[in-house]
Amino acid sequence: DQQVKQNSPSLSVQEGRISILNCDYTNSMFDYFLWYKKYPAEGPTFLISISSIKDKNEDGRFTVFLNKSAKHLSLHIVPSQPGDSAVYFCAASAGMTGGSNYKLTFGKGTLLTVNP
């Protein structure tokens, strides 16, 4: 049973345009969400996070939106740059409520390609 779903395996956008990566979750105990970026043969690097008490968090070109009622979050990258081309993983945790003790559940990832 996949608790964190990224239904788009890949996404291609033009440089300068907006990239929107989507993530759905099924576990209502999840209360903290993160996005990681991963280049081939490297470990994921933390990008941005959001707790369930917020519906938006922004950091430079990256904004994460959380819709708790729909159990859906999205990552917006504006403007997209070729260096953003990577696999993006959505992850979730019930850690803030003490549920899963710091465990992260990851989606399968979305490969973003930003074309010059």
Residues that bind other proteins (CB under 8 A): 4, 6, 9, 32, 34, 36, 41-46, 49, 51, 89, 91, 93, 95-96, 98, 101-109
**Closer residue to other proteins, CB minimum distance, 98 or 116:** 98
C-beta of 20 vs 48, nearer to other proteins: 48
Give the Cα separation of 65 and 91 in Å (integer).
14
The residue (of 15 and 58) whose beta carbon lies closer to other proteins is 58
To other proteins, the closest distance from the beta carbon of 101 in angstroms equals: 7
**Is 36 or 75 the residue whose CB approaches other proteins more closely?**
36
Token pair, residue 28, equals 């209502």
Query: How far is residue 46 CA from its own chain's centroid?
Result: 10
Write down the least CB distance from residue 68 to other proteins, Å: 18
- Considering the complex, what minimum distance in angstroms separates the CB of residue 80 from other proteins? 23
Question: What is the closest distance, in whole angstroms, from the C-beta atom of residue 39 to other proteins in the complex?
Answer: 10
* Helix-, strand-, coil-residue percentages of the chain, each rounded to 5: 5, 50, 45
d(CA 16, CA 34): 24
Segment holding 96, helix H or strand E: none
End-to-end CA separation in angstroms for the chain:
38
